[in-house]
């Protein structure tokens, strides 16, 4: 069995690893640590989420950092501030016994003055998001002329979030002679672009199949009417009493909405999203790690940096945007030798997309029936009985009370005692699922008179986000980008709170999802707009956009001769609004 010391790491590093209970290197660590220590060539490393990629690139870099130099020697770029914080925390733990080596994180959403102060203390390692790192370079605060290592962590995600321009600008400030290390859980087309654009004849190593999920994760899906999506989620949770997992939503607002409903309905849940302060996020994460919370509701972006190894479930409240996102999500369960379940709630029209993901992953997806009220009550009862059977009984402590309890129950038969006990602990489920309708598509819903039916009516009245798909007649050939679309929408007073779903840039058109409540206002906003190619035409189309190439530096719209340009775009063909 290989040890970290045998991989070539110093006693100072291995001592810190021992205290962190890092006993045996993971497969990706066993490959990349000696590679980075011994070879100066660029590297693409592919490994599933949760396999220790941070240690895989940071440990060999820390081993080689010159503590006597106060220049920036390594920079680690990652897509989100959450992942930034996690990497910075890990590195801080690793350098506990290394004298003279320091690091700092720079990312948006926090006080830039404090981050500037930290940079002026001359850390050798910088962890940052592309936007804030580029800002520090432009301010002449951050110098990369002596850089030796550039790490691109989840580089495909950085491109999909629209950071191409920032990456180009940052790379232009780095010396030609450096080692570039790219780490990713997936191998999308974007990786080929990155390798060609930013790397020099990189070698590729992998500890698994490209674009495949973790081996010990089962993949399930449930087919439900859109109006029953939340009720389906609720039944899934009730049918799995010991569930401990993350629920992924499409937008920040949907995340808040789902979490609020779960909390209202007495579930142990909390939302993680960009509106939380750092202290609020840390408090929620601490409670989740302690299992004081069973469910964490998050978007893909907000979940970056969540590092919990024993999740039982990942729930996709909606289908993710692409296969790579699904792999990232599902890889958060089934870690550390444990098994896990990744399940998705879809409607009838989305079954084709499930088959596409299934084909890409080469893993079977099992269609599950939405649990009925009777099935849920049975599972909850079995869970309750298991808990009773497993409870620790201290006979000495209860001995003095046993006679009194026996006297109280003397008129109860065995069946009466069990019935009263079950009713006391179980009436909530029995009452809620009384006369519960079958939510499975195609099932008869004639018995919807109970609280289930009322719940569905409430769902409709509360107006959960539904998306309309629109198309405009400008696209890649017009140098149009997702950023241009989002900038235009953000500039419209009537569209201040609109939710934007997926965006697909085609050659001659752009297809995007918009909150259907704002459908007419969005269409009205495009009326009379012109581009260099002529009058903008907008139309409503059926179905969700499919993945296709595109992107580019954008131009925006005008009405007549008065140009209203919003600056350059970020190139990526399919983007998700993070407004």
> Could you report the per-residue pLDDT of 40-77, keeping only the tens digit for each?
999 999 877 677 889 999 999 999 999 999 999 999 99
Fold classified for 467-576 = Alpha-Beta Plaits (3.30.70)
pLDDT at 249: 92
The reported pTM is 0.57
548: how many CB neighbours lie within 10 A of its CB? 14
Tell which residue, 189, 112, 183, has the closest CA to residue 149.
183
Which CATH architecture fits 11-206? 3-Layer(aba) Sandwich (3.40)
DSSP conformation letters of 436-464: PPP-STTS--TT--SHHHHHHHHHHHHT-
Lowest mean per-residue pLDDT among 129-133, 211-215, 371-375: 211-215
**Looking at the predicted structure, is the pLDDT value of residue 29 above 70?**
yes
Structure confidence at residue 272 (pLDDT) = 87
User: Sorting pLDDT into bands at 50, 70 and 90, what band is 448?
Assistant: very low
- pLDDT tens digits for range 150-159: 999 988 778 8
Please tell me the distance from the alpha carbon of residue 370 to that of residue 362, in angstroms, as a whole number. 25
d(CA 396, CA 377): 35
Distance CA 137, CA 174 (A): 11
Region 198-212: what's the mean pLDDT? 75
What local confidence, expressed as pLDDT, does residue 569 receive?
35
Q: What is the pLDDT of residues 159-187, one digit of tens each?
A: 877 888 899 999 999 999 999 999 887 76
Report how far residue 522's alpha carbon sits from residue 493's, in angstroms, rounded to the nearest whole number.
11
| 554 pLDDT higher than 90 | no
pLDDT of residue 220: 94
Among 103, 204, 190, which residue's Cα sits nearest to residue 154? 190
Give the rounded percent of residues in the chain with a pLDDT score beyond 90.
36
CATH classification of 217-372 is 3.30.420.40, yes or no?
Answer: no
The residue behind tokens 């199949």 is 209
Edge-to-edge order in the sheet of strand 500-505: 538-541, 467-472, 510-515, 500-505, 574-576
Domain ranges of the chain: 11-206, 217-372, 375-432, 467-576
Question: Of the ranges 30-34, 442-446, 542-546, which is most confident?
Answer: 30-34
* Alpha-helical regions (H) of 173-289: 189-198, 229-239, 252-264, 278-289
566 confidence band (pLDDT: 50, 70, 90): very low
Note whether 11-206 and 217-372 share their fold: yes
Measured in degrees and rounded to the nearest 5, phi and psi for residue 242 equal -100, 20
Are the C-beta atoms of residues 330 and 217 closer than 8 Å to each other?
A: yes
Helix (H) or strand (E) holding 424: helix 414-432
- The answer for residues whose C-beta is within 8 angstroms of residue 426's C-beta and 6 or more apart is 377, 380, 381, 384
Structure tokens at 405: 């309890």
């Amino acid at each position: 069995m290989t040890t970290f010391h045998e991989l070539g790491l110093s006693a100072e590093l291995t001592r810190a690893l021992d205290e962190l209970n890092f006993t045996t290197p993971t497969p990706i660590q066993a490959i990349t640590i000696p590679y980075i220590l011994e070879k100066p060539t660029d590297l693409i490393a592919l490994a599933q989420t949760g396999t220790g990629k941070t240690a895989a690139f940071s440990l060999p870099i820390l081993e080689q950092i010159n503590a006597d130099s106060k220049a920036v020697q390594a920079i680690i770029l990652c897509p989100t501030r959450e992942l930034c914080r996690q990497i910075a925390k890990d590195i801080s733990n690793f350098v506990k016994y290394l004298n003279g080596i320091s690091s700092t994180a720079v990312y948006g959403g926090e006080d830039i003055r404090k981050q500037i102060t930290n940079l002026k203390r001359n850390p050798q390692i910088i962890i940052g998001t592309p936007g804030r790192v580029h800002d520090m370079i432009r301010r002449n605060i951050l110098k990369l002329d002596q850089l030796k290592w550039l790490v691109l962590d989840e580089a495909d995600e950085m491109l999909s979030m629209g950071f191409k321009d920032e990456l180009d600008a940052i790379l232009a400030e780095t010396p030609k002679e450096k080692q570039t290390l790219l780490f990713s859980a997936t191998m999308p087309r974007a990786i080929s672009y990155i390798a060609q654009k930013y790397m020099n004849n990189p070698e590729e190593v992998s500890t698994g199949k490209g674009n495949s999920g973790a081996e010990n994760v089962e993949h399930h899906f449930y087919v439900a009417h859109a109006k029953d999506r939340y009720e389906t989620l609720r039944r899934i949770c009730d049918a799995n009493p010991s569930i401990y997992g993350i629920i992924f939503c499409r937008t920040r607002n949907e995340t808040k909405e789902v979490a609020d409903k779960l909390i209202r309905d007495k579930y142990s849940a909390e939302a993680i999203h960009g509106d939380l302060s750092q202290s609020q996020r840390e408090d929620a994460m601490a409670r989740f790690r302690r299992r004081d919370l069973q469910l964490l509701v998050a978007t893909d972006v907000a979940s970056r940096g969540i590092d919990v190894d024993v999740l039982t479930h990942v729930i996709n409240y909606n289908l993710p945007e692409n296969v790579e996102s699904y792999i990232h999500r599902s890889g958060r369960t089934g870690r550390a030798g444990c098994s896990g379940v990744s399940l998705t709630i879809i409607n009838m029209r989305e079954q084709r997309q499930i088959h596409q993901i299934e084909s890409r992953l080469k893993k079977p997806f099992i269609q599950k029936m939405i649990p009925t009220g009777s099935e849920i009550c049975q599972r909850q009862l079995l869970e309750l009985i298991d808990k009773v059977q497993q409870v620790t009984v201290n006979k000495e402590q209860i001995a003095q009370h046993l006679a009194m309890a026996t006297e109280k129950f003397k008129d109860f038969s065995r069946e009466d005692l069990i019935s009263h006990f079950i009713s006391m602990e179980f009436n909530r489920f029995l009452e809620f699922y009384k006369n519960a309708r079958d939510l499975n598509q195609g099932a008869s819903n004639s018995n919807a008179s109970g609280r289930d039916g009322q719940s569905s009516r409430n769902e409709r009245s509360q107006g959960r986000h539904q998306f309309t798909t629109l198309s405009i007649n400008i696209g890649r050939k017009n140098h149009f980008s997702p950023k241009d679309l989002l900038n235009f929408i953000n500039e419209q007073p009537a569209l201040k709170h609109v939710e934007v779903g997926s965006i697909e840039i085609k050659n001659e058109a752009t297809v995007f999802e918009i909150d259907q409540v704002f459908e007419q206002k969005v269409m009205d906003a495009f009326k009379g707009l012109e581009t260099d190619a002529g009058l903008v035409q907008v139309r409503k189309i059926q179905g969700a956009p499919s993945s296709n190439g595109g992107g580019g530096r954008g131009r925006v719209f005008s009405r007549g001769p008065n140009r209203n340009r919003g600056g350059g775009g970020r190139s990526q063909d399919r983007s998700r609004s993070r407004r």
